[in-house]
């Protein structure tokens, strides 16, 4: 028969088991900590780019992109809708001013021009006829007025005679009244003729002005058509290189369509593009650093497009040396537009890490072999330096190379 175990013995056994379990757990925790410590990421010092924070001046710039284009380009458009008859030059050819480039079919335009010339001649003849008719009408009315004035004079004499005879007793009152009535009638008729003459002058003047406007309108149309015919004979207006030309003979050409481009490749400018939000920091006259490959040039903003297109604002930069051999048509350029200056600020060397003013998480050296992740606030800058607003002080050493693989780490060791 089994004997019952004493309570004190059972208590001691439980205490021994608890001590063993606690020891095992503590050993596991220590092992895990040691393992994590041994697995902490270690970086090779030679693979890091480290910059030292200092104080100095910063000329703030805003970055943009651009494309080198000829300083002067002559874009030639077709003045009419027609078809291409002949091509006299090819893209890449050097051309002189007034050299023929293309021949367009202008037969229909020439026929319309000839018809308009005939219309002008008819209108001019009508003007001549109108003037002759007006002069004839005015002359006839003037003659009638002269005759009527003579009649009024004669009627006035008759009235005087009748009144004198009536005073002598040889006449009668009826004859005096008849003579006065005839005089009054002649005076009214004379006044009517004079009014007709004035009205005829005004009518003739108005008719001649209308006809003159008609002639002037036809002459303007003729000038436009003459200019169209002249521009239809496509020639180069200036010396240069033919960089574009349509060359499909017989193809249909629309009015306003670009048919040729003559460029002056001896000097160049840069067509820049910048985000609409950043364009507010740019102004005409601002200095620009132009970077093409490893070469750097200086220039000035000379024009800014007033409207944006697709969130992009275009502008023009004139290089200080527009004939520099680094400037070649079509080459892309990096532009840094100056818009301000800050002196005696805390600054850090610029790099690919910088994406504009704002908050960054950067690794700062806290010792000879350790990096600590720190929140840093950066301001404006240029391609060389960036202003440090908070989080860093002069003398701090900061990693400015790519650390995206360690963005989840708070500290790192350096080997």
Domain ranges for the chain: 45-60+341-414, 107-231
Question: Do the beta carbons of residue 65 and residue 332 sit within 8 Å?
Answer: yes
Q: Is the pTM of this model over 0.85?
A: no
The 10s digit of each residue's pLDDT in 77-121 is 888 888 888 888 888 888 888 888 888 888 888 888 889 899 999
Report, as an integer, the average pLDDT of 63-71.
Answer: 91
Q: In Å, how far are 16, 18, 26, 67 from 13, measured between CA atoms? A: 5, 9, 20, 87
Give the pLDDT of residue 38.
45
* CATH code of domain 107-231: 1.10.287
Give the pLDDT of residue 21.
72
Question: Do the beta carbons of residue 251 and residue 104 sit within 8 Å?
Answer: no
Q: Strand locations in 23-93, DSSP E?
A: 42-43, 50-52, 54-77, 82-87
Which residues are CB-contacts of 223 (< 8 A; sequence separation ≥ 6)? none
Question: What residues pair up with 372 in beta bridges, in sequence order?
Answer: 364, 411
| Overall CATH class of domain 45-60+341-414 | mainly beta
Question: Per the structure block, which two tokens stand in for 195?
Answer: 């009014």
Higher-confidence position of 357 and 298: 298
Report, as an integer, the average pLDDT of 157-180.
Answer: 81
| Cα dihedral 79, 80, 85, 91 sign | positive
Flag whether pLDDT at 37 surpasses 60: no
The 10s digit of each residue's pLDDT in 365-410 is 887 678 889 899 998 888 788 989 998 889 888 888 888 888 888 8
CA distance 394 to 185: 116
Flag whether pLDDT at 173 surpasses 80: no
Flag whether pLDDT at 263 surpasses 80: yes
The 10s digit of each residue's pLDDT in 294-306 is 889 999 999 999 8
């Amino acid at each position: 028969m089994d004997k019952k175990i004493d309570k004190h013995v059972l208590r001691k056994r439980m205490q021994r088991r608890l001590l063993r379990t606690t020891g095992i757990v503590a050993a596991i925790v220590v092992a895990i900590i040691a393992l994590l410590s041994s697995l902490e990421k270690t970086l090779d010092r030679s693979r890091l780019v480290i910059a030292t924070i200092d104080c100095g001046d910063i000329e703030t710039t805003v970055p943009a992109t651009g494309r080198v284009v000829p300083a002067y380009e002559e874009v030639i458009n077709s003045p009419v809708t027609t078809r291409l008859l002949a091509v006299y030059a090819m893209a890449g050819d050097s051309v002189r001013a007034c050299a023929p480039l293309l021949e367009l079919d202008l037969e229909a335009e020439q026929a319309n021009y000839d018809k308009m010339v005939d219309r002008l001649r008819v209108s001019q003849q009508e003007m001549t006829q109108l003037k002759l008719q007006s002069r004839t009408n005015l002359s006839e009315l003037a003659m009638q007025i002269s005759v009527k004035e003579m009649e009024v004079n004669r009627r006035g004499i008759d009235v005087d005679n009748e009144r004198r005879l009536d005073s002598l007793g040889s006449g009668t009152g009826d004859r005096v009244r008849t003579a006065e009535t005839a005089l009054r009638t002649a005076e009214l008729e004379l006044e009517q003729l004079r009014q007709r003459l004035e009205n005829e002058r005004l009518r003739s003047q108005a008719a001649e002005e209308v006809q003159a406007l008609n002639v002037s309108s036809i002459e303007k149309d003729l000038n436009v058509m003459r200019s169209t015919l002249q521009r239809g004979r496509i020639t180069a207006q200036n010396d240069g290189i033919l960089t574009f030309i349509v060359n499909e003979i017989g193809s249909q050409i629309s009015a306003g369509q670009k048919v040729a481009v003559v460029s002056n490749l001896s000097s160049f400018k840069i067509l820049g593009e910048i985000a609409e939000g950043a364009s507010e920091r740019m102004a005409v006259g601002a200095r620009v650093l132009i970077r093409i490959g490893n070469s750097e040039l200086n220039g000035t903003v000379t024009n800014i497009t007033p409207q944006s297109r697709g969130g992009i604002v275009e502008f023009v930069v004139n290089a200080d040396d527009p004939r520099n051999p680094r400037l070649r048509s079509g080459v892309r350029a990096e532009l840094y537009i100056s818009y301000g200056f800050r002196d005696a600020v805390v600054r850090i060397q610029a790099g690919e890490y910088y994406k504009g003013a704002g908050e960054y998480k950067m690794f700062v050296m806290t010792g000879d072999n350790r990096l600590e992740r720190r929140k840093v606030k950066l301001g404006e800058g240029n391609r060389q330096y960036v202003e440090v607003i908070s989080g860093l002080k002069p003398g701090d050493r900061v990693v400015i190379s790519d650390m995206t693989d360690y963005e989840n780490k708070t500290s790192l060791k350096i080997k």
